[in-house]
Structure 1
Amino acid sequence: MGVTTQTGEKASYLATEKHITLPVTVINGKSDGPVLLLTAGIHGDEFPSMYALQQLQQNLDPNAMSGVLVVLHLANLDGFHSNRIALNPKDEKNLNREFPGSADGTPTEQIAELLTREFIGKADFLIDMHSGSANQTLLNHVYSPFVGDDELDALTFEFAKATGMQHIVLYGDRPRDPNNSISYPNTAMTRGKPGLTTEIGHLAQSDEESVAKALEVARNAMYFLKMLPEKPKPHPEPIIYETIKYPKSSKTGFFKASVVIGDKVTTGQNIGTVTDYFGNLVESLKSPVDGTVMMVNQMPAIKDGQSVMAIGVEISE
C-alpha cells in the first residue's frame, strides 16, 4: 500500500487506499523467513486480539527476528467505532462473508478485495483472530480448515496445533473456489496458504487472560515458523472436533440456555427453553448430538430458525 519497510526495520502506519484506512505494523526481520499475517478486528466488537497484537508489535525487535510479520490491527475500522456486532455500518455487511471482494463493490466488498490483494497476496501464513461477540459466551478454540489439498491441509493442522490451543475444530465447509472464497482465512487456503481462525474471549470483553492467550497464540505461531528462536508449545491434551452443530429454535420469543460453555451434552438432552412474550413455555430445545458446548447465545431475543448455541462433536477414533 505504498509503504516500504526495510530489512531490520519496523513501521506502524495508517495504510490508505481510496476511502479505506487500515492500521498496520510491518516488522521486517533481519534474516530471511516466511511472511506471517496476523489480523484482528475483521469484526469490530472482538477486542482481545486487538490488544494482544498491540503488545506483540511493541515488544518485537526486528533484528532478533526472521521473516516478515504483518500485523493488521483492525480490519473493520467503521464497525469498531460504531460499536457494531460483526457488521460494517456503511453497508450492513459482514466482512468475513464477502471475500474475495470487489474493487467496485460496496464498502465492505472493497475492503475484502484490498485484503485479498495487498495482504493475503503477500503472506505465506495467516491467522484471523476473533472472539465471541457481545451476545455470546465462547469456549476458546481454533479452526483448522481443509480444502482437499493433502499437503496444505496437513501443514494447516500442524500450524493449528502449534498455536497451543486445546480445542481444534477441523473445518471443511467453505467453498473451494478462490473466486467465491467467502471468508478471510478460506481466501488464503484457496490460494495455497495456511489460514487459521482463532476464537479467544467473549461478551465484548478485553480481560487480561484473553489478551494474554491471544498473545501466546501469536508468539507460538512465530516460533512454529522459526521467526523467533523459541519453540512452540502445543497443548499437551488437544481435543479435535470433526464438526460443529448449531441447534435452532423453531419459535419466536425469549431464549434461555440450560447449559454453559464447556459442558458435555448428549443427544436429546435439554439445552434450553423458549418462552413467548407472556412467559409461557413454547419450546424445549434438545441437543441434536453428543458433544461439547462451544458457544451460547446470551441474548434472550430469539426468532424462528435462529441458532441458539454451537456444539462441537469430537472426532471419532
Structure 2
Amino acid sequence: MISKKYSFDFVSKYLWLFSLLLSSAAFAQSPFELADVLTEAGESHSYMAKEKDLEVPVTVIHGAESGPVLLLTAGIHGDEFPAILALQRLREEVDAKQLKGTLILVHLANLPGFHARRVALHPADNKNLNREFPGEKNGTPTEQLAEFFTREFISKMDFLIDMHSGSWNQQLLPHVYSPFVDSEELDELTFEFAKATGMQHIVMYGERPRDPANSISYPNTAMTRGKPGLTTEIGHLGQSDEAFVEATLELSRNALYFLDMLPGEPTPHPAPVIYDKLKSVVSPVDGLFTPRVEIGSVVEKGTIVGEVRDYFGNVVTELTSPINGTVMMINETPPVKAGESPVTIGIEQEV
C-alpha cells in the first residue's frame, strides 16, 4: 500500500488503487496481453508491438503478484534521448519475480521520427504525435499511431509517465507537469504522483480539453479516461548526458516505490516548487535571438530576457518578461520567427 506520509488521504488513495486493480488486466495469475502478445506472470518480454505499418519497441514486465499497471513512455518525440536510454537500463534492472503489478516500457514511441532525426514531428505527415490524440485508426500515420496508443496502451494501464526532454534548440529547467481535469480525487492523486517522482519543479497544468474524444496530448488522454498521466522534462539541447539518464531512472524508481510495485520508499524533493502557470515571451519580429538570462533565473516583470537582431546584426527589439517568475525554457539557437516564443517563464504558486 502507499506510504502514509503523503497529504492525500491514505484510505481514499488505497480505495482508489483498489478500484483500479479490479478493472485492470494485470492479475498475476493470468498472462498480460498487449498488442496481441502475451506475457506470463513473473516474466519479462521485449518485442516489437505491431499493427499494419506501425512498429513500437516495448517491454512488458509482468509481476509475480497483482498490482497497478504503470506505463512509462519515451520517444513520443523521437529527438528526445535521455528517457530512451533510461528505459533500456530500467528493463535490465526490474526483476519480474519481485514486481507487484505490471510495468510497460515503451522504449521509443515515434520510431520514424527517431530515425529521421526530426524535431518532434513524424516524417510521413509532419505531425506532432503529442497533438493528435486520441487519434484515428484510418487517419494519417501519426493519427494511426495515436489511436494505437490510446486503444492498446492507455486502455490497459493505471498510471502513465510521458517522458520528454528539450530538443536540439531548447534548454529546459527539469520539471514535471501535473495535469488537472477538475476531478478532485483524480487531480489530487495525480499531484501526489508528481511529487513522488522526486522532481523539484512541478507545473500545474489544466489547459487541455476535458473531452476524451478531443484529448490532444498523450497524458491528457489518460486523464480524460480517469487515469493519472504525468509529463516529465529532463535534459535539453538534444543531448543524452549521463546525469539526464540517471535522473530519469531515479524518477522511474520513485514511481515504482510510490505504487508499491517494488520494495522501497519514494523520495519527494524536500523543497518542491509549484507553478500555477507558464507564460510565453513572444518575439514580434523575425531574426536572430540571443538570450540574456539563464535557465532557473528568477526574473521580475520588465526584466530583459533576450534580444532579437536583424540579419545584419542590428538589435531590433529587446524581449522582456511580462511577469515575475522563473525561467523554465530558453531557445539556445538563433533562429526566431515573429510569434514564436524563445523564452518561457513559470509563475510560482502563492503560498
TM more than 0.5: yes
Quote the Cα distance in structure 2 between the aligned partners of 1:302 and 1:169.
Answer: 25
Quote the Cα distance in structure 2 between the aligned partners of 1:14 and 1:78.
Answer: 14
Quote the Cα distance in structure 2 between the aligned partners of 1:130 and 1:302.
Answer: 22
2:297 to 263, 274, 286: 263
Quote the Cα distance in structure 2 between the aligned partners of 1:161 and 1:306.
Answer: 31
1:179 to 197, 213, 232: 213
| Cα distance, 1:298 vs structure 2 | 1.1
SS in 1 for 2:252: helix
The corresponding residue for 1:69 is: 103
Matches within 5 A, 1:1-40: 1-40=35-74
1:138-186 CA-to-partner distances (Å, cap 9, x unmatched) read 1100000000000000000000000000000000000110000000000
1:40-87 CA-to-partner distances (Å, cap 9, x unmatched) read 000000000011100001111111110000000000000000111100
The corresponding residue for 2:163 is: 129
| Cα distance, 1:280 vs structure 2 | 1.2
Q: Does structure 1 retain, via aligned residues, the 8 Å contact 2:43–2:61? A: yes
The corresponding residue for 2:311 is: 277
The corresponding residue for 2:81 is: 47
Matches within 5 A, 1:144-183: 144-183=178-217
The corresponding residue for 1:197 is: 231
Quote the Cα distance in structure 1 between the aligned partners of 2:41 and 2:190.
Answer: 28
Residue 96 of structure 2 aligns to which amino acid in structure 1?
A: P
| Cα distance, 1:2 vs structure 2 | 1.1
The corresponding residue for 1:297 is: 331
Q: Which runs of 4+ in 1 moved over 4 A?
A: none
The reply to whether residue 231 of structure 1 matches residue 265 of structure 2 is: yes
Q: Does structure 1 retain, via aligned residues, the 8 Å contact 2:257–2:265? A: yes
Quote the Cα distance in structure 1 between the aligned partners of 2:271 and 2:136.
Answer: 42
| Cα distance, 1:299 vs structure 2 | 1.4
Q: Percent identity?
A: 63
SS in 1 for 2:38: coil
Q: Does structure 1 retain, via aligned residues, the 8 Å contact 2:113–2:122? A: yes
The corresponding residue for 1:112 is: 146
Quote the Cα distance in structure 1 between the aligned partners of 2:64 and 2:322.
Answer: 52
Quote the Cα distance in structure 1 between the aligned partners of 2:107 and 2:96.
Answer: 18
Question: Which stretches in structure 1 are left out of the alignment for 5+ residues?
Answer: none
| Cα distance, 1:316 vs structure 2 | 1.1
Quote the Cα distance in structure 2 between the aligned partners of 1:16 and 1:159.
Answer: 31
Q: Does structure 1 retain, via aligned residues, the 8 Å contact 2:274–2:348? A: yes
Quote the Cα distance in structure 2 between the aligned partners of 1:10 and 1:158.
Answer: 28
| Cα distance, 1:309 vs structure 2 | 1.2
1:113-134 CA-to-partner distances (Å, cap 9, x unmatched) read 0000000000000000000111
RMSD of Structure 2 on Structure 1 (CA): 0.5
The corresponding residue for 2:15 is: none
Question: Which stretches in structure 2 are left out of the alignment for 5+ residues?
Answer: 1-34
1:269-311 CA-to-partner distances (Å, cap 9, x unmatched) read 1111011111111111110110110110011111111111111
Quote the Cα distance in structure 2 between the aligned partners of 1:234 and 1:30.
Answer: 27
The corresponding residue for 1:312 is: 346
TM-score, structure 1 as length reference:
0.99
SS in 1 for 2:219: helix
TM-score, structure 2 as length reference:
0.90
